[in-house]
A and B are shown apart, each in its own frame.
Chain A
């Protein structure tokens, strides 16, 4: 993975620059296999920065989450940049946000980190459910190596990484200002096999499956809050006039919310899988996202988060768009 000294050195150097406000990275979490986002404002803050296979969070949301209060008269906006440590998928989110003009390219400094797959917290928690002390995980020869109470564990990578990482097409960030480490080229191709298998089922079976999933949703909106693409100032579910989705948690409202959440990410979702990771009820939200990703790729030959010059999918049209469903 990445040389930590080099990461810290780069960030420190960046913080001494006039035009950088702060840098977002990862630091050790407080317990178990946690890693938490860390903000460095002064070079001393950088000493706690780490990068390990546990760094799952997509940090691209932070520039979008930043609160922008109305400015007092005669005061100028703080136009300094925000530095972000990005993995392959995180950089795609940044590209997509910039493409949609959600933020400006000049507003961020991307520190690219080539990534070889990150640990799925759910999978590792299933094995070590009572881990109290924080553990460091290292990657060595295709295995995740870590020490718990003096015992060395080495678990094959395939058993612990996210499913999205297995078919990752962009392990090296798409967009970066500084790249730490060597570029990794991936020969993997996303084949959407699960999606295709599910499509084959009958309408009744499909709905039975999704009904069970949607019924469990508690509408905490964690999926929305963690999503780097969900940066609307006012989300449509928070609107009261008109109130599109009622606040009660029942199948009808949950289904409407989940359909619209997936729909609003059509052609925008970059597949970082954060929504599924944070879902307290374990609803397979990425399945919906993947389905739309696949269809958008197939019908409109469009992939989100790869180029800055393309226009957003639903902001353009072509006379050759599908018309077989039109009477």
Chain B
């Protein structure tokens, strides 16, 4: 049997995490290829609906990457995102979805190594939990 390869959707902020991912790439660091990156202007742009929709449409895990607290390009966007995700994770947990599927990480533009580590941890965690089969959207019309 082939090993389960999770799908991970990463919402990375344009100013820090996306640049961090870029750095990881240019410095030729190895990290699991399971991650699909979506660039957003700020982690505060991530509507909890994005997360739920990603889980519906085939993601097994969702990662939200933002700047370190205090470093946000928009000053406070990541603080708001943190608050939102804290509540969303509690709710998902209550409904019976392992909250490790939704992760958040602060990765700055200089932390290519950290980015690779984050992706590794998230992928391993989601591999351990198994595929997301709770409320997958079936594409039958």
Most chain-B Cβ atoms within 10 A of its Cβ — which of A255, A259, A267, A313? A259
> In the docked arrangement, what's the CA distance between A314 and B95, Å?
21
Contact of B48 among A246, A260, A291, A299 (CB under 8 A): A260
Contact of B87 among A206, A292, A317, A318 (CB under 8 A): A292
> In the docked arrangement, what's the CA distance between A115 and B98, Å?
41
> In the docked arrangement, what's the CA distance between A244 and B121, Å?
30
Q: Is A5 an interface residue (CB 8 A)?
A: no
Instruction: Specify the chain B residue showing the minimal Cβ separation from A248.
Output: B141
Contact of B96 among A207, A236, A253, A323 (CB under 8 A): A207
> In the docked arrangement, what's the CA distance between A246 and B49, Å?
13
> In the docked arrangement, what's the CA distance between A150 and B98, Å?
57
Contact B106 A326, beta carbon cutoff 8 Å: yes
Q: Is A9 an interface residue (CB 8 A)?
A: no
Most chain-A Cβ atoms within 10 A of its Cβ — which of B48, B85, B89, B90? B90
> In the docked arrangement, what's the CA distance between A210 and B93, Å?
12
Among residues 44 to 71 in chain B, which have CB atoms less than 8 Å away from a CB atom of chain A? Answer: 48-49, 52-53, 56, 69
Which residues of A are at the interface with B, using a C-beta cutoff of 8 A?
198-199, 203-211, 214, 236, 244, 246, 250-253, 255-256, 259-260, 262-263, 266-267, 288, 291-292, 295-296, 299-300, 313-314, 317-319, 321-323, 325-327
Of the A-B pairs whose beta carbons lie under 8 Å apart in the complex, a sample of 23, sorted by A's number, is A207-B96, A207-B97, A210-B95, A210-B96, A214-B135, A252-B135, A252-B137, A255-B56, A255-B135, A256-B52, A260-B48, A260-B49, A263-B91, A266-B87, A288-B94, A288-B95, A291-B90, A295-B90, A317-B76, A318-B79, A319-B69, A321-B82, A325-B89
Having A252-B138, A255-B95, one finds 16 other A-B pairs with CB under 8 Å, namely A207-B134, A208-B96, A210-B95, A211-B96, A236-B49, A252-B135, A255-B135, A291-B90, A295-B90, A296-B87, A300-B83, A314-B83, A317-B80, A325-B86, A326-B105, A327-B105
